[in-house]
Each structure stands twice: as structure tokens, then as C-alpha cells.
Amino acid sequence: MRHIVFLFAFAVSTFLRAGASTAAPEPVEELMRQATEAAQRGDHKLAVERLTEVIEKSPATHQAWYLRGRENFRAGRVQEALADFDKFVELEPKAEPQQWERGIACYYAGQFEKGARQFELYQTFHNQDVENAAWRYLCVARTQGVEKARATLLPIEHDPRVPMMQIYELYRGQRKPEDVLAAAEAGDAPREAKTLRRFYAHLYVGLWYEAAGKPDEAREHILKAEANKIGHYMWDVAHVHAERLRAGGQK
């Protein structure tokens, strides 16, 4: 998901510019800054604590709910994350089409129909994101099977990121996993770009295998995705998934 990726600091700065000076007391600004710093160093527990204090002081501060949802998810607290995203949408309904994080939380919370609807809504906001189509496919596959998911795959014409179109064709039934992996390795690219390509290739191949009912292959690729660490929320998704696999919990 490349659009509406609110980096934590950006979201906080938006909050500070838009409303903190007039709608919230000074201590709330400081708590938001502390939450930002905690999130940036990966201290999700502290970030959640500080954001909870913001919410207690100023429950109408919609951005705090969104940010706490992200941090709860990154900490593996999926149900809590989903509740936060839902509250954010309740307070800021015009933002609902952008909430792909909410859709992913729905998937891991087992609310697949709700997740599918969220990704359908996101398609009205950005209609050339292969990841959005893939996550809706995954949600539909859980409730109606892979054939239905493939038949109703959201249309994508061009996602320029490598290997997104190969991933899309895999989910359409037109390519094999090895085609996606080969596309990620093809050509010359800087090391960081290659790591990014490998991450996405393994993540979406792993999720595709999971939908196909092949847990061993799914595990292999999810763990490989996690090993290719990138500085993006989607890495946190892979990490949460990998932690569930290691714990033997619900996939």
C-alpha cells in the first residue's frame, strides 16, 4: 500500500497544525510528540500508552485513534487495533475510503466480509494498487473460496512497482509463484530496492499460498518476507503474521 501511508511523524505534525493549538491543551501536544518518538524507536507499548492518555484527555482527537490503531497492530493487538480504526472512521467518516490498515486488521481479526468491503471502498480512492486487490482476494477466499476470489478480483491496469503486476497475475491465475520471485530478482537495482522487491514478492506469494490451503509453503514465504526488513508498515504486517505462525495461533 503506497498511498495514504501516514508515517507516524507526518500524522502527528498534521494533528499539531490542524487542531492541537485550538482544540486541545498543551499537554496533549507533548504526549503526541512522546508517542511519535516511541513509535519511531519501535516501542509500541509506550506509544500506545501515550496515545491512550491523549484519547483520555481529548477523545475527539480523531488522529490519536488512528495512530493508536497502527501501534496496537504493530504490537500484535489486532482486535484493539481494529476497534481504534473503527473509532477513527466514526469520528472522521470522510477518511473511511483511505483506511487500508483497517482492512488488514479486519483480515487478521477474522472479519473477512468487513475487510472485503473496506478494500472495495479503498478501490474508489486509489484504483491502481495491486496490494488492495490482493487483500480483497484474501478476504473473499476465506469466506467464498479461491475461485470466487479470482473471479471477482478488483481490476488493476498498472502498478509500476516491481513485482506488483506479476503478483496481480498470480492472483488472477495467470502466473506461478516462481514467476513473481524471478521478477523480483531480475535486472540491476540498488540493494535497498532489491530488498523491497523481495519483501513484497515473498509476502504476497506467502499470502497466496495461505489462501490456497498450503500452510507449509505459506509459512516459508511469510518468514522470508519478514527477513527482508523494510521501513514500512507492511513489514509490521509480515512480522505480526510471522509471530502468529511461530506461536501456532490463528493465521
**Reported pTM:** 0.90
Q: Given 1.25.40.10, 3.40.50.300, 3.60.15.10, 3.40.50.1820, which CATH number is that of 1-96?
A: 1.25.40.10
Do the Cβ atoms of 9 and 40 come closer than 8 Å? yes
**DSSP percent split of the chain into helix, strand, coil, nearest 5:** 75, 0, 25
Q: What is the mean pLDDT of the chain?
A: 92
Q: What is the mean pLDDT of residues 1-7?
A: 50
Q: Does residue 250 surpass a pLDDT of 60?
A: no
Q: What is the CA radius of gyration of the chain?
A: 18
* Distances 32 to 45, 59, 139, 250 between C-alpha atoms, Å: 14, 13, 33, 33
Of 8-22, 59-73, 140-154, 204-218, the poorest mean pLDDT is in 8-22
Do the Cβ atoms of 235 and 242 come closer than 8 Å? no
Buried b vs exposed e over 52-78: b needs ≥16 C-beta within 10 Å? bbbbeebeebbbbbbbbbbbbbbbbbb
Half-sphere exposure of 153 (CA within 13 A, CB side): 22
d(CA 25, CA 27): 6
Do the Cβ atoms of 209 and 180 come closer than 8 Å? no
SS3 (DSSP) at 229? coil
Helix axes 100-108, 130-144, angle to 10 degrees: 30
What is the residue-wise DSSP string for 131-189?
HHHHHHHHHHHHHH-HHHHHHTPPP-----STTHHHHHHHHTTSS-HHHHHHHHHSS--
Nearest to 3 by CA among 247, 233, 246, 250: 233
Q: Please report which confidence band the pLDDT of residue 1 belongs to, taking 50, 70 and 90 as the band edges.
A: confident
Q: Does residue 10 surpass a pLDDT of 80?
A: no
Q: Phi first, then psi: give them for residue 76, nearest 5 degrees.
A: 85, 10
Q: Please report which confidence band the pLDDT of residue 79 belongs to, taking 50, 70 and 90 as the band edges.
A: very high
Q: Does residue 205 surpass a pLDDT of 90?
A: yes
Q: Does residue 5 surpass a pLDDT of 50?
A: no
Tell me which residue has cell 490498515.
101
d(CA 109, CA 122): 19
Domain ranges within the chain, ordered by starting residue: 1-96, 99-158, 160-251
- Contacts of residue 220, defined as CB under 8 A and 6 or more positions apart, other chains included, come to 206
Q: What is the mean pLDDT of residues 206-230?
A: 98
